Amino acid sequence: MTRATKTRTPRTPDDAVRLRMDPVSSRATALDGAWWPRTTDAVVELPALVTALASLRGEITHVLLSSAEWDEPHPRRITVGGRGVRLGWFTSQPAGLITVMTDFGRDRFDLLVVPPDASPAGAETVLAAAADGADNRRTPELLAAVGPIG
């Protein structure tokens, strides 16, 4: 029997994180921003996101993800910049959403996850909308606005 092996390609330093955040942190908004990963491999994608978010919001301690949307394995922890980040994988986490917590629960924010294969125009529209504190659309509505994938 032949076994397929998946090779993980680490991100290069010039791979910018495609992240857009509402500049004003508020629990009154539906979303705090959006992230457009390049793949569904959380082990590859999350370290760059955590690093970017830490520079904006402080030490990231937990990330909650939908287990159905990300490739396996689903590790319980990753190390980013010498610090451990706990990962929670849930079937109940809404599609297209990750929840990030800082400083062991002092702050929490929700990010829409744009599908990696979204068109650049659709992704840019949704990134901007999710980071707009005046736009109260939720994840399902915004994901529908991405348009055709590919």
The predicted structure's pLDDT at residue 150: 55
* 75-101 burial: b if 16+ Cβ within 10 Å, else e: eeebebeeeebebebeeebbebbbbbb
Contact 25, 134 (CB under 8 A): no
User: Of 44, 55, 39, 59, which is closest to residue 12 (Cα–Cα)?
Assistant: 44
Residue 106, SS3? Answer: coil
CA proximity to 96, closest of 73, 128, 124, 130: 130
pLDDT per residue, tens digit, the chain (150 aa), is: 333 334 344 444 446 899 999 887 766 668 999 999 999 999 999 999 999 999 888 899 999 999 999 999 999 999 999 999 999 999 999 999 999 999 866 788 999 999 999 999 999 999 999 999 899 899 999 999 887 665
Strands 60-66 and 83-90: parallel
How many other C-beta atoms can be found within 10 angstroms of the C-beta atom of residue 2? 4
